[in-house]
Amino acid sequence: MKVDGGITTNLSAVPQGAKEVEAAGYSGAWTAETAHDPFLPLVLAAEHTQSIELGTSIAVAFARNPMLLANLGWDLQAYSKGRFILGLGSQIKPHIEKRFSMEWSHPAKRMREMVLAIRAIWDTWENGTKLDFRGEFYKHTLMTPFFTPERAELAGFGTPKIYLAGVGELMTEVCGEVCDGFICHGFTTEKYLREVTIPALARGRAKAGKTMEGFDIVGPSFVVTGNNEDELKAAAAGTRQQISFYGSTPAYRGVLDIHGWGGLQDELNTLSKQGKWAEMGTLIDDEILNTFAVVGEPEEIAPELHKRYGDVISRISFYAPYKSDPARWQPVIEAIKKG
């Protein structure tokens, strides 16, 4: 199992942060699209690392268009010498329409078409095929030599892998059909992964005439641990808050429903509309916390991750607050990688 860490999107801190993640033994490093752009930091990360994989987890797909994403993916793959993974996610309707001022409709169908359009553009650049992509949402039919990257830029690397994040069955099935890997949302439990996510991925793979062999699944990322009792309590409090935030989102209700906790979504959603964010975290009891997160001392993390997910995921991704004691945490990373 590969183990991935996160790197900051604060550009001034990226070089040192990326070096530290690589030196700590992580297999990959991901940026998230929150307060900063997720792509720019990866240029610096590629410059200051040698072998670690670099990806976005996630970049908001519907805030962009296929041509823009194709350009970004191509350039980062070339500059990193084949180490880039294009990780995409849909975000939710209010953010797409109100934050990005972009169109929202039929997210699963749109995402499928977006990925296929990106691949069509890459095929034109890499193999010289005529660009003639005509879909319901995107149309790309013009490409001249002036706007075509040099094929030699990707010589020996190939185009990037595309991963997709999702929760709902339709988006997950799309991922299985057209992508190379699936990024489990942090708001995913073992039960939901096994009973909903993996069957949906398998249906998508079957549509494409493929099996799950070689398909990457990036596992859920909630880990609650610390070097002492105070750190453990602080990590648990922050994780309860994050779980409650995700749980308030109607699109994620299915994860709670499968555990019989659907009513909690109504409570959390009501509190979120009232701006009672602190109160939301108090509704996440120990049973819910331990269902969504692996909880324990650092040395307990690897065995529990393998017990839950070792037979179904190929890599695990989490942000590790353990820089204060790298000597203790590095053996944990190695234990997770070895299985």
Q: Which residue segment(s) compose the domain that 265 sits in? A: 229-295
What's the CATH code of the domain at 77?
3.20.20.30
Do residues 264 and 120 both lie within one domain? Answer: no
For residues 314 and 240, state if they share a domain. Answer: no
Specify whether 180 is located in the same domain as 249: no
84 and 10 both lie in a single domain: yes
SS3 call for 227:
coil
Mark whether 105 and 161 lie in a shared domain. yes
The C-alpha atoms of residue 46 and residue 26 are separated, in whole angstroms, by 15
Indicate whether 222 and 234 sit together in one domain: no
Token pair belonging to 310: 């070792």
If asked whether residues 116 and 200 sit together in one domain, one would say yes
Count the domains in the chain.
2
- Judge if 242 and 174 occupy the same domain: no
φ, ψ at 216 (rounded to 5°): -90, 140
Alpha helical stretches, state H, 208-261:
229-247, 253-257
Full pLDDT tens readout for the chain, 339 residues: 999 989 999 999 999 999 999 998 899 999 999 999 999 999 999 999 999 999 999 999 999 999 999 999 999 999 999 999 999 999 989 999 999 999 999 999 999 999 999 999 999 999 999 999 999 999 999 999 999 999 999 988 999 999 999 999 999 999 999 999 999 998 999 999 999 999 999 999 999 999 999 999 999 878 888 888 998 898 899 999 999 999 999 989 999 999 999 999 999 999 999 999 999 999 999 999 999 999 988 889 899 999 999 999 999 986 544 445 667 778 888 888 887
Amino acid residing at 285:
D
- Cis peptide leading into residue 58 (ω within 30°): yes
Is the same domain home to 257 and 187?
A: no
Residues 135 and 268 in one domain: no
Do residues 326 and 24 make contact, with C-beta atoms less than 8 angstroms apart?
A: yes
Task: For residues 166 and 265, state if they share a domain.
Answer: no
Distance between first and last Cα of the chain: 7
Asked if residue 78 and residue 148 are part of one domain, the reply reads yes
* CA 285 from centroid of its chain's CA atoms: 26
